[in-house]
Amino acid sequence: MSSEVKLTGVTFVTRDCSIARALDLIGEKWSLLAIREVFLGSFKFNEIQDNTGAPRDVLSDRLRKLVESGVMQRMPYQEHPQRFDYRLTPMGADLFGAITVLREWGDRHCGEPPRTFQHKCGAVVATKLVCRACDEEVTERNVRPIDSVTLGA
């Protein structure tokens, strides 16, 4: 299932990839910041809008797409008049790892960390990515694609 892209009359077959598929759903700044807000407990449109600074029409479009793609769900919280807020589905909650790793990268490379988190063990959260099979760290130097493409050659 590779994507075909037509440019100047020639068809290129681009690399099919889970990263590209993921980015089709959530690969946009306001979408990811809306997801961050729901993780932080802001469920209402106005709260999400205030805390992200997203233009209302853009945010409305992004939330609609996130609901359509199954990342968020609208939940009724009031009957008369009926009002909804936004919650993460299990698929959306599963983005916690991606959000966390991206936040830690920002902490390391984009100035003084504006906010810190605490793990249940009491430590300030600093994570590493380990292999579920052997528990050793997974880095760009110790993985390779299983097909013929070489990594970081």
Q: Are strands 83-88 and 10-13 parallel, antiparallel or unpaired?
A: unpaired
**Residues near 72 by beta carbon (within 8 Å), at least 6 away in sequence:** 34, 35, 38, 63, 66, 86, 87, 88, 89, 92
Closest by Cα among 50, 26, 27, 24 to 37: 50
Site for a second copy in 120-139 (CB under 8 A): 120-136, 138-139
Cβ 70 to a second copy shortest distance, Å: 8
Site for a second copy in 25-64 (CB under 8 A): 25, 27-29, 32-33, 36-37, 39-41, 50-53, 55-56
Site for a second copy in 71-110 (CB under 8 A): 91, 93-110
**Residues near 102 by beta carbon (within 8 Å), at least 6 away in sequence:** 32
Cβ 43 to a second copy shortest distance, Å: 9
Cβ 32 to a second copy shortest distance, Å: 6
Binding range to a second copy, per CB under 8 A, among 19-27, 57-65, 76-84: 19-27
- Nearer to a second copy by C-beta: 81 or 131? 131
- Token pair listed for 153: 């050659």
